[in-house]
Chains A and B, each alone.
Chain A
Amino acid sequence: AQSVSQHNHHVILSEAASLELGCNYSYGGTVNLFWYVQYPGQHLQLLLKYFSGDPLVKGIKGFEAEFIKSKFSFNLRKPSVQWSDTAEYFCAVTTDSWGKLQFGAGTQVVVTP
């Protein structure tokens, strides 16, 4: 069965620290990959997405992600986090299934001032 694994459930770090969130998926075919963020009390917002081309994808708010096909991974990074990055982050994958995003369990990120 297809699945998406996020390595960390909770991450706590200080402002200006670097952030890397791991995401691995299990699906052998063509995939589209997404990172969504959910700020407290808000809806899911798209941070970035990968469909094809350059495996290093840049998104909003200084986030980037790298698709490594051989490792089935799509890790999210930000060089220097801010307190406002406190949120839950979800990795998601679409495969050959109509209208369906397969989500990881999410990583709760807390940035302390």
Chain B
Amino acid sequence: KAGVTQTPRYLIKTRGQQVTLSCSPISGHRSVSWYQQTPGQGLQFLFEYFSETQRNKGNFPGRFSGRQFSNSRSEMNVSTLELGDSALYLCASSLGQTKTNYGYTFGSGTRLTVV
């Protein structure tokens, strides 16, 4: 089956702009989690969606938001971009029915550069 698809692969944005990233999970997976990966902070959890509802949220400012559609595809939005938002944004999909999950499959990520 197809893996987790993230689009676009690369983005260059200017400070103050907003950006939307997309993630299509593995077919049948209803949970999508988002992570930010930077050299300094490593992999940090942003939020998780299941059946169009945000179930969990990390410690990021309100400029970071997301949503999930009825087909489980998810989008992440960052408004008023800052230089420090430059990172690799990863999404992971899973079945999501239990907290003790059977594992997460990651997409290739979107590399966002803010200039």
- Tell me which of A44, A95, A100, A105 contacts B42 (CB under 8 A): A105
CB atoms of A30 and B100 under 8 A apart:
yes
Contacting chain A: which of B10-18, B77-85, B104-112?
B104-112
Least CB separation from A100: chain B residue: B45
Number of interface residues of B (CB under 8 A): 29
B105–A101 touching, CB < 8 Å: no
* B106 and A98 contact, CB distance less than 8 A: no
Q: Judging by beta carbons under 8 Å apart, are A94 and B43 in contact?
A: no
Give every chain A residue within 8 A of B55 (Cβ-Cβ). 98-99
Q: Fill in one digit per residue for B62-95: 1 if any A CB lies within 8 Å of its CB, else 0.
A: 0000000000000000000000000000101010
Contact residues, B1-41 vs A (CB, 8 A): 31-33, 35
B106 touches A43 (CB 8 A): yes
CB contacts (< 8 Å) of B106 on chain A: these are 36, 43-45
Please name all residues of chain A whose beta carbon is closer than 8 Å to the beta carbon of B105 when the two chains form the complex. Answer: 46
Could you tell me if B99 and A96 are in contact, using CB atoms closer than 8 angstroms? Answer: yes
A45 to B96, CA, bound (A): 18
Known interface pairs A42-B108, A44-B90; A98-B103 also in contact (CB < 8 Å):
no
Is there an interface contact between A34 and B103, defined as CB atoms closer than 8 Å? yes
User: Which A-chain residue is minimally distant from B92 (CB atoms)?
Assistant: A101
Chain A residues contacting B33 (CB-CB under 8 Å) are 99-101
What is the bound-complex CA distance between A43 and B91, given in angstroms? Answer: 10
- Do B90 and A94 touch (CB < 8 A)? no
Residue of B with least CB distance to A102: B45
A34 to B109, CA, bound (A): 19
Encoded as 1 (CB less than 8 Å from any B CB) or 0, chain A from 35 to 61 comes to: 010000011111001010000000000
Docked Cα-Cα span, A33 to B9, in Å, equals 29
Question: Besides the contacts A43-B108, A95-B99, what 20 more A-B pairs have beta carbons closer than 8 Å?
Answer: A34-B104, A36-B106, A42-B108, A43-B107, A43-B109, A44-B90, A49-B103, A94-B101, A97-B56, A97-B99, A98-B48, A98-B96, A99-B32, A99-B33, A100-B33, A100-B48, A100-B58, A101-B33, A101-B35, A101-B43
